[in-house]
Amino acid sequence: MTNSPAPLHQLPDADFYGFEDLLSDTEKDKLAELRRFLAEEVLPHAVDWWNEARFPTDILPKLAQLELSTPVQQGYSPLFAGLVIAEMTRADTSLATFFMVHHDLFVEALHAFGSPEQKARLLDDARALRITGAFALTEPDHGSDVAGGMSTTAVRDGDTWVLNGAKRWIGNGTFCDYMVLWAREPETGRTRGFLLDATLPGVTRTRIENKTALRTVQNADIVLTDVRVPQADLLAGVESFDDTKQLLRGSRIMVGWQAVGAQLATFDVARAYAVERTQFGQPLAAFQLVQQQLVQILGNAVASTGMLARVTELEHGGYAVPSGEDAAGGDAAPAGAASGEDAAPAGGARGDMARAALAKSYASAKMRESVAMGRSILGGNGIVTDYRMAKIFADAEAIYTYEGTYEINTLIVGRDITGVSALR
């Protein structure tokens, strides 16, 4: 036995069970290209961006060149799409959050609900990041209950719609060109979706300050005062709030992949520190309790990856639903850079949303455990961003909360497996 650890490059990667071996050769090459980009363009700067609460808009053309917008729409596998988010999060949770809000919500909304004219007008530019998008659903007074309590209104006036209200925690909201914005039509009670030009008169955007997580993400408070939106910017395919479930379920799963990525980053940083840091004349890695924590972090990451890989496959391959049951099962959650969960009842149906909720809640709980152990391994150095771990630790709290809190997601699953709703 030896107390001299092997060089890091000779030690196993955090992909301990070889999930990446399931990818095609093309996907492996693309993932390697993404990693090179992150290593060269993101990792050296991410802590400074975070400390300064500054979003690096100059990086967007380089990010666009990777051509990773909505990978499944391009023919990549669901597993690859999830690993893209995990790898981005592994380098910088904030960049991954920007990517998800823009591509997995704004661009996917165009794919799912846009008219041919809307797609022709916006889709190519959005995929190439020549324009940027946000997703405006959560409100100052409505997060978990926004489905039933949405206060933002949309009133038809000839060939335009007049919007009034407020939105909160809107990721990319300070600089985006467009928002997919949701409002309620008072006369009918229907939820409407709009492709809102963020520069229209009456739109006020204010950055949310003093955050302790996702500091690089530019979250905004949005106030709408008699904003007139042309009929051509009404999302053509949206009939009700139920239409958001497709987007929100997929986004929730991708936030679960963020929880995977945060654990991979934790393992990377904590393992490297334990191998390289010497105390009492030997590396930290030689101490049994440190090894136990590293193994627990690795186990949490592997278990979370397995759950997310399966639920992502189910999401894109269809769910087996017993005859006579409703596949839509659970309900939707506000999304973006920080939001809650819709508490509407599921009616006892076996839900694909419940599967997404279980994956997100489980992986984010394991992530919270992992980042706490990672911070502990770094000791005092774990509370300064110089060593990355403090940033990973802080950003994990946002992942734990948005796309449905742990508690709300738990109750969605509980409702599904008992047929009894604890949500009121």
For the ranges 30-34, 58-62, 331-335, the lowest mean pLDDT is seen at 331-335
C-alpha–C-alpha distance, residues 193 and 86, integer Å: 29
| Whether residue 300 sits in one domain with residue 285 | yes
Residue 317's pLDDT is what? 80
Residue 51 is assigned to a structural domain of this protein = yes
Task: Tell me: do 156 and 123 sit in the same domain.
Answer: no
396 and 328 part of one domain? yes
Residues 279 and 391 occupy one common structural domain: yes
pTM of the full structure:
0.90
Is 3 part of a structural domain of the chain? Answer: no
337 pLDDT higher than 50 = no
* pLDDT value of position 107: 96
- The answer to whether residue 424 sits within a structural domain is no
If DSSP codes are grouped into helix, strand and coil, which group holds residue 230?
strand
CATH of residue 14's domain is 1.10.540.10
Residue whose pair of structure tokens reads 């007008």 in the numeric block: 121
Question: In this structure, are 254 and 350 located in the same domain?
Answer: yes
- Could you give the count of Cα atoms lying within 13 Å of 228 in the half-sphere of its Cβ? 5
pLDDT above 70 (res 1): no
At residue 2, the pLDDT reads 56
DSSP classification of residue 213 = S
Q: Do the domain assignments include residue 173? A: yes
SS3 307: helix
Residues 158 and 82 in one domain: no
- Per-residue pLDDT band at 6 (split at 50, 70, 90): confident
| pLDDT tier for residue 350 given thresholds of 50, 70 and 90 | very low
Q: Given this model, what pLDDT does residue 8 score?
A: 82
Contact assessment for residue 319 and residue 340, using Cβ atoms and an 8 Å cutoff:
no
Chain centroid offset of residue 171 CA: 10
| Whether pLDDT at 25 is above 90 | yes
- At 149 the pLDDT is 78
Q: Worst-scoring range by mean pLDDT, 58-62, 213-217, 316-320, 392-396?
A: 316-320
In angstroms, the CA 43 to CA 193 distance is 36
Position 141 scores a pLDDT of 86
Quick check: is 33 in a domain? yes
Looking at per-residue pLDDT, the higher value among 149 and 103 belongs to: 103
At residue 338, the pLDDT reads 35
Q: End of a domain among 101, 127, 153? A: 127
Give the pair of three-digit tokens for residue 63: 């990010």
State the pLDDT at residue 148: 72
- Using an 8 Å Cβ cutoff, are 348 and 157 in contact? no
Find the mean pLDDT for residues 362-374: 98
Residues 157 and 123 occupy one common structural domain: no
User: What percentage of the chain carries pLDDT values higher than 70?
Assistant: 91
What is the rounded distance in angstroms from the CA atom of residue 14 to the CA atom of residue 268? 7
For residue 148, being part of any structural domain is answered with yes
Q: Within this chain, do residues 119 and 156 fall inside the same structural domain, yes or no?
A: no
The total of structural domains in the chain comes to 3
Residue 245 and residue 205 in one domain: no
What share of residues in the chain are helix, strand, coil (percent, to 5)? 55, 15, 35
**Per-residue DSSP letters for 107-136?**
IHHHHHH--HHHHHHHHHHHHTTSS-EEEE
pLDDT at 38: 98
Boundary of a domain, candidates 71, 95, 127: 127
Q: How far apart are CA 374 and CA 257, in angstroms?
A: 19
Residue 144 burial (C-beta neighbours within 10 Å; 0-12, 13-18, 19+): buried
Question: What pLDDT, in 10s, does the model give residues 105-116?
Answer: 999 999 999 999
Residue of 241 and 182 predicted with greater confidence: 182
3: pLDDT strictly greater than 70: no
What contacts 66, CB < 8 A, 6 or more positions away?
A: 30, 33, 34, 37
What is the separation, in whole angstroms, between the first and last Cα of the chain? 59
Q: pLDDT confidence of 303, banded at 50, 70, 90?
A: very high
- Is 423 part of a structural domain of the chain? no
Q: Is the pLDDT of residue 54 over 90?
A: yes
Of 192, 217, 233, the last residue of a domain is: 233
Residue 286 lies in a domain: yes
User: Cβ distance 169 to 98 under 8 Å?
Assistant: no
For residue 184, give the CATH number of its domain.
Answer: 2.40.110.10
Q: Say which CATH number the domain at 397 has.
A: 1.20.140.10
Chain centroid to Cα 23, Å, comes to 22
Contacting residues for 79 by C-beta, under 8 A, at least 6 apart:
19, 22, 23, 309, 312, 313
- Residue 200, pLDDT score: 98
Residue 212 domain boundaries: 133-233
On whether both 120 and 73 belong to a single domain, the answer is yes
H/E stretch holding 194 reads: strand 191-197
Please give the angle made by the CA atoms of 375, 376 and 378, to the nearest 5 degrees: 70
Q: How much is the mean pLDDT over the chain?
A: 90
Interval 362-382 mean pLDDT: 97
Q: What are the pLDDT digits (tens) for 230-282?
A: 999 999 898 888 888 778 899 999 999 999 999 999 999 999 999 999 999 99
User: Is the domain of 102 the same as that of 144?
Assistant: no
Q: Amino acid letter at 296?
A: Q
- For residues 358, 359, 365, 368, the Cα torsion angle rounded to the nearest 10 degrees is -160
Considering the domain architecture, whether residues 82 and 170 belong to the same structural domain is answered as no
Judge whether residue 388 has pLDDT over 90.
Answer: yes
**What is the structure's pLDDT at 351?**
63
Percent of the chain with pLDDT over 90: 79
